[in-house]
A = this chain, B = another copy of it.
Amino acid sequence: MRAHLLTIGDELLIGQTTNTNAAWLGERLSLMGVRVDRVVAMPDEDEAIRAELDRAYAEAPLVVTTGGLGPTHDDVTKTVVADYFERPLHTDEELLARVRRYYERRDRDMPEEVATLAQVPEGFALLENPVGTAAGLWYADTNDHGERLLAVLPGVPQEMKSIFSAAVQPRLEARADLQDVKHRTLLTTGIGESDLQATIGDLSPWLDDHLHLAYLPSTSGVRLRITAHGTNSEDARARIDSLEAVLRERAGRYIFGTGDDTLEGVLGTMLRERGLTVATAESATGGLIGHRLTNESGSSDYYLGSVVSYANTVKVHQLGVSAHDLREHGAVSEPVARQMARGVRSAIGADIGVSTTGIAGPTGGTEEKPVGTVWVGYADAETEHARRLHLTQDRHLNKELFATSALDMIRRQLRRKEANNP
């Protein structure tokens, strides 16, 4: 099945809003086996929307629109669509009552124009909006071009996503003409795309026209996406399982999770299961590791706190780093990284201490320690070590990658420990 996405709203054309809806829908539809041929952004204007509907249905049976469903006079999508399919608008009393209650609960009068939210074109199915007031719409008919399917969704990303997942995806998946596609994504970190390819090596005995592997780089690591096409479900799952087993055998130490996992989420679960606590001593990352750990709800179960020792005096007084070693080896050095990790573990009373000391850039580099150099330290009751990395990105990305390395260092150490004490 082919689809066009029509994203509606002046804010998309003047750069006030980045079209994240298009990327999200593109990924979701592609993963379902729908091929997205075009994405068009257009103003909230009758003529523009009609012209794009014409173009879309000449080439694809499925059109998904986003935006222009609000109650203000700028929001024209619903009236244009109703008119395009020659369907009169009726007020849905149940929906109107729901919108009224929404305002009542907030002790506010419902502005008159808001009643338009409850209008529905005749023959259109209403798609309930669990997180807002603008409902989505679904329509199907046939004309000279053949079948025409239409999903009309609001522009607010959270509302668009929840309506798509709850009501549009199931309608599409119920169709026999949707190709059977299965996916599984393995998440790696701590290795670049070309090194990962070399580590994994030749996969030709496992791959063919029905089974693909894609390397998808991102700032948190390379994602490995396995795609199985056009086979029946049982068979596809078995083939994905056997490819996954090969990937884990060859590159398992880099794989930290699957699907929508995050490194901090996976690590949090590992720490919670083992009843371990962690504290961080951050210089180059400036607090980012603590920030990422606390992005997980419930992180107080295992994260106690951090000392961000940007100034050397803080390294000495709060973390007990030797002033002599700071002078002798510099702040960006193995002994300082180890002492920071050890120091924060003991100061805060955590099971595990982890540290970063490095040069994020763009200034502060030397010949011996160029911008992008970082030492990541680790300490627990039994072990202590540090690792040097050299990265080549800008300040912001270097900080992200330093933090990722520190989080991954804890994850690998926990795995190593289990391999040694099975």
Contacts and interface: CB of A to CB of B under 8 A. Distances in A.
Interface residues of A, number: 67
A43 B41 CA distance: 16
Interface string A299-335: 1100111111111011001100000000000000000
Contact of A287 (B20, B42, B308): B308
Interface in A264-296: 280, 282, 285-291, 293-295
A207 interface: no
A399 interface: yes
Contacts of A38: 13, 40-42, 48
Interface in A11-50: 12-20, 22-28, 30, 36-43, 48
Interface string A357-386: 000111100000000000000000000000
Nearest to A36: B13
Interface string A143-178: 000000000000000000000000000000000000
B40 A15 contact: no
A298 B307 CA distance: 20
B362 A399 contact: no
A201 interface: no
A250 interface: no
A1 interface: no
A305 B310 contact: yes
A286 B297 contact: no
Given A304-B311, A313-B304, A287 B298 contact: no
Contact of A308 (B37, B298, B305): B305
A330 B309 CA distance: 28
Contact of A303 (B37, B295, B310, B363): B310
Contacts of A289: 287
A395 interface: yes
A192 interface: no
Contacts of A13: 26, 30, 36-39
A318 B305 contact: yes
Closest 4 CB pairs between A and B? Answer: A15-B27, A286-B294, A287-B290, A287-B287
Given A15-B23, A39-B41, A307-B307, 10 more contacts: A16-B216, A37-B42, A37-B43, A286-B295, A287-B288, A294-B360, A295-B396, A298-B363, A300-B311, A313-B349
21 contacts: A12-B22, A13-B26, A13-B30, A15-B25, A16-B27, A16-B216, A18-B18, A39-B40, A280-B287, A287-B287, A287-B290, A290-B310, A295-B396, A295-B399, A297-B361, A300-B311, A303-B311, A304-B314, A307-B308, A308-B308, A317-B347
